[in-house]
Amino acid sequence: MKISYSLLFLSYILRVNGYTWPSPAIDELEDIMFLQSGYFRRGFHDAVLGCTFSPSGSRFRQASAEWLRTAFHDAITHDSSTGTGGLDASLRYELDRPENVGSDALNSTFGFMSGYQTLRSSMADLLALGVYTAEEGCKGPGESSVPEPSTSLEETKRRFEKAGFGVGDMITMVACGHTIGGVHGKDFPEITGNDSTENFPRFDGTTAKFDNAVATEYISGNTTNVLIVGPDATNSDRRIFSADSNVTMKSLTDPDTFKTACANILQRMIDTVPSSVTLTDPIEPIDVKPTNLKLYMTNDGTMKFEGQIRIRWTERSGDPPPVVRVRYAGGIIEAQKATFQGGVGLGFDNWFQFYEFQHAFQPNSSFSSFTVEFNDEVHTNGGGGFPIQTDILAQYLDSCLVSAPNVPSSNLTLVAAIRQGRAQLSTYLEVAVKKFQMGIMGAAVIEKQTVVMQSTGRRVGGYEMFSASMILPQQSAFTTYDVVNGDARVEFQKTASVPPSCVVV
């Protein structure tokens, strides 16, 4: 994933060149990014909402600053000459290094983000997304190699240069990173004067706002930043800011220059990845997007199709219509405006209107794709329609995920309906299973486990039912799975959607 910052100020622009739904590389991350509140909220920004908030509940912690620090410590290990290191979430394995003192903050960041970690949203992707989310929440934009407060200027410059950043870049990155947050006495008592948890001197006077006070206070001489006015041995900000005789810091006292410079340097920071990593094109909010689609057989032999249509209304005029039309070869389905929370989803200057539908029809209906129509607009997903897989149906209501208190595992049973003409083909599940490692926050790896599905002998409406069961570790119970039949598959189905108890049919 690539995150793009507008030069107007950390405005996250997701650009998708020729986007066609579905897109495995984009869809999950785009939801996490934009659906922050309202209908179908994902809540990724909850930990940094209001800038000064911390999930720990402590008023002496600031999650937005911790997220930014975590991404910096991860990215700055990049070696531009060898193409190693960079923003790859390897920091999780390096928290015992001296430059990563204060690992509570880093672990807290990874711990929160682990709830969003899937095969389609890696921890590295989430770190990059976290940089933007943290700055927006404040209304703004390898090897041991992270500079410490006591690191000399020459060594600090060398480490930034090794990562591909010059002196001006170094100054700008530190200034932009230190517009929020402060220094924890618990971690750096030699700087703050005591080691109490409550001792948390801030970098500038507007710590709850992403602005250029860090620069104006420094140039005017009235800063209280302990990395400038504290003990000489740990005055790292003073050494860095004055590295070019204050030329860069003076330029950053202009608010517009500060915004532009921070947007640029933070973009470069999150784009600093190992050479083996290929970034996608920048992504932008998707205009019309089907979501939570489910197609399944009922016991009476009819087929049900349900889900939501999400329409970005940010730049459209007038009120959203009460109904949008889902047109398929056999007719039209009317999707009604969702009523819960007005059906409105919000996220970072974007708002989306959701429409819900549920439709029953005979399984012999001609149905392989659909278009979306409203007002005078017709959306064809690039001309081919929004595709629907009808050879495999994920029978989520016949499936179950059974858990019990104080039991370290869950029993997962998944049922799929396979078109009878394909029942002889190999049919199996690919279940994403998170593997954890002691001392590492989040899944160390996510593996796809293959489970063969067997026919139950039950046939309904031209489909044959297949089933498979497996035991999942409790930490991996809420995961995703694909159903594969020959060359056909339905992907990224969520176990959270299946009932908590099994029904015999």
Model pLDDT for residues 106-155, shown as the tens digit of each residue? 888 999 999 999 999 999 999 999 988 888 777 654 333 344 444 566 77
Helical ranges in 35-99 per DSSP H: 63-75
Q: For the residues 2-24, what does the mean pLDDT come to? A: 53
Per-residue pLDDT, 118: 95
For the record, the structure tokens of 491 come out as: 């992907």
For the record, the structure tokens of 249 come out as: 């810091």
Q: pLDDT tier at 15 (50, 70, 90 boundaries)?
A: very low
DSSP β-bridge partners for residue 452: 428
Q: For the residues 218-231, what does the mean pLDDT come to? A: 88
Model pLDDT for residues 313-329, shown as the tens digit of each residue? 999 999 999 999 999 99
pTM of the model: 0.82
In whole angstroms, give the CA distance from residue 286 to residue 313: 11
> In percent, how much of the chain has pLDDT > 70?
90
Per-residue pLDDT, 464: 97
Amino acid at 314: T
pLDDT at 11 over 80: no
pLDDT at 56 over 70: no
Per-residue pLDDT, 121: 95
Mean pLDDT of all residues in the chain?
86
pLDDT at 486 over 80: yes
Model pLDDT for residues 462-479, shown as the tens digit of each residue? 999 999 999 999 888 899
For the record, the structure tokens of 168 come out as: 């001006």
For the record, the structure tokens of 106 come out as: 């880093």
In whole angstroms, give the CA distance from residue 397 to residue 413: 11
Model pLDDT for residues 395-410, shown as the tens digit of each residue? 999 999 999 888 889 9
Per-residue pLDDT, 9: 32
CATH number of the domain located at residue range(s) 393-497 in this protein:
2.60.40
Q: pLDDT tier at 358 (50, 70, 90 boundaries)?
A: very high
In whole angstroms, give the CA distance from residue 401 to residue 412: 5
Per-residue pLDDT, 281: 77
